Chain A
């Protein structure tokens, strides 16, 4: 029997019972749709993480403090990272060739009759470049895709020089709205503002910024910033000890782990950290590299995938048993037909092929509908997952193969049963 004839026979077998066929396919449809949707969720989460950690270069180690939450307030677990921790790092850790530091602290700033509550950010001379590399904000109305420059980020004046940062100069750069609020339209360049009764000269104003992500625009306030050299900020301006974040640049990317060990040893000495009873260091800091973040994400994605695969397997097995059931019913109903086919010369393998193909077509049809349902459900899945779902094109052939395999595996037993019928008994079957 030619393949085409077997196909025609199988198709007419399926078409004979449309309702039963549809119900049988339901399990496969749900299984395949969940395969598509869940792969899309994993794919979306992966893309989002890679996107949001773009700014952390592969030669960088982020050093941050450990915090414990007490009474709803974050409290440092142990000593805070200090400016000195960062300054001494390059000497103590030979694999670190330079560090960038950021501190945040709040206080009051005054100019003339105006006093504002402000969050101060102490930064390095390279902060503007980092902001551009971060890619989260851009000057208002900046054409999409156009290359950003440090100049484009400045409305007036200039940013800190390296010598100003090194010396702890009493200078500051204002965010666009901060400048507006303090100076009410006057030119702030060269003017003096007072922070905790210490004078500070305004040397620049940042351009009016907006977040690149339009959905973020109502929340983020990039224009309320107040920048100081990090050295100035930690030395004299804050009443409370500020939180320092250190970004260390490693000379050799291949020796990241070694560099981490050097940093950890340095900080443990400075903070007087001891080993716990289990031999683990009771660190009050955390070291993070891009590889760590991707690794954590990959672990999470793997766990996610395992869970979702389990879900898909369960629905496909249920669907497979549905197919097996409907094929067994079909074999029983068509016992006489099988007898007739055998009498006119169908061999066992012809009968196996006929019923196997019928099961495969059934599951394949379910697979196609499932793919469609899966793709249509991606927006729904995205809305349940913070907008993170992206169709993975590779999931379509995978889903089809899975559906086909399900049909063949679960169709095998009914097909073999049909082929093993005794033609004499089958012809007598009422």
Chain B
């Protein structure tokens, strides 16, 4: 990684919501650059625009004005379907509330993103089956022996590990973690942060959204947001 390659590049990104009769300016022109292999924390009080930023970066939403390049591709010009494909293949989400599907086993939860990939459409050589790849991802987070358990049979820390395995399984360009330790006690939260640090050490690009300074300090560097702007 001598020549840093940007995974994320935003230029004058704005987002305006209409709430009743008033416009809410959630983002007021954000220029952000995150390079491949970075482990970045994005901090800010609630209402600072960090959640909106995460939704835009995660291709769940589109900016009002400005440009967002994900690996050089302009996301703003993509259709909903193409954004769904980007989410599926280039982005891994980790949520505060884990968001595992209760009726699926840990293994099926991890395999879920792979099931939404158009099977064989690229005409590539047959990749390993979704369940095999899911098991590899579960092994990576140390939960292979819990593959058959449902979320309710797992502890909070284990659930978040399953969620991280789900984020990893598609080999994304960017892992977006939104308060990943917010629902965990400090010891379990520490385990999760160590796991994220390990992933960073393996060369993954991570963006950690948090309002907790102690958590943010474990990232390589921290970006601060206030009133819809990135602080210098």
Contact = CB atoms under 8 A, between A and B. Distances in A.
A342 B84 contact: yes
Contacts of A2: 115, 119
Contact of B103 (A12, A336, A348): A12
B88 A344 contact: yes
In this complex, which of A5, A342, A344, A348 has the most chain B Cβ atoms within 10 angstroms of its Cβ? A344
Nearest to A3: B119
A12 B58 CA distance: 29
A347 interface: yes
Interface in B165-218: 166, 170
Given A423-B60, A424-B61, A345 B116 contact: yes
A52 to B, nearest CB: 59
Interface residues of B, number: 25
A5 B131 CA distance: 12
Interface string A345-370: 11110100000000000000000000
Interface in B79-94: 80-81, 84-85, 87-89, 93
A350 B84 CA distance: 11
Contacts of A271: none
Given A423-B60, A424-B60, A427-B99, A347 B119 contact: no
Contacts of B117: 345
B113 A347 contact: no
Interface string A8-42: 00001100100000000000000000000000000
A344 B91 CA distance: 8
B39 interface: no
A85 interface: no
Contact of A344 (B61, B80, B116): B116
Given A2-B119, A336-B99, A424-B61, A344 B81 contact: no
A341 interface: yes
A345 B55 CA distance: 14
Contacts of A337: 101
A344 B113 contact: yes
B112 interface: yes
A341 B112 contact: yes
Interface of A is mostly: helix
B99 A341 contact: no
A350 B117 CA distance: 11
B101 A424 contact: no
Nearest to A15: B103
A1 B116 contact: yes
> In the complex, which range does the number of interface residues on chain A fall in?
20 to 34
A159 to B, nearest CB: 82
B95 interface: yes
A20 to B, nearest CB: 15
B60 A344 contact: no
A347 B112 contact: no
B84 A347 contact: yes
A347 B58 contact: no
A346 B61 contact: no
A345 B58 contact: no
Nearest to A13: B103
Contacts of B84: 342, 345-348
Nearest to A348: B80
Nearest to A340: B99
Contacts of B60: 342-343, 423-424
Contacts of A427: 95, 99
A5 B88 CA distance: 16
A345 B89 contact: yes
Nearest to B81: A347
B76 to A, nearest CB: 17
Given A340-B101, A423-B60, A427-B99, A346 B116 contact: yes
Interface string B110-134: 0011011101000000000000000
Interface string B62-89: 0000000000000000001100110111
Nearest to B130: A5
24 contacts: A1-B115, A337-B101, A339-B99, A340-B101, A341-B112, A341-B116, A342-B60, A343-B58, A343-B87, A343-B93, A344-B87, A344-B93, A344-B112, A344-B116, A344-B166, A345-B84, A345-B89, A345-B113, A345-B117, A346-B84, A347-B80, A423-B60, A424-B55, A427-B99
Interface of B: 55, 58, 60-61, 80-81, 84-85, 87-89, 93, 95, 99-101, 103, 112-113, 115-117, 119, 166, 170
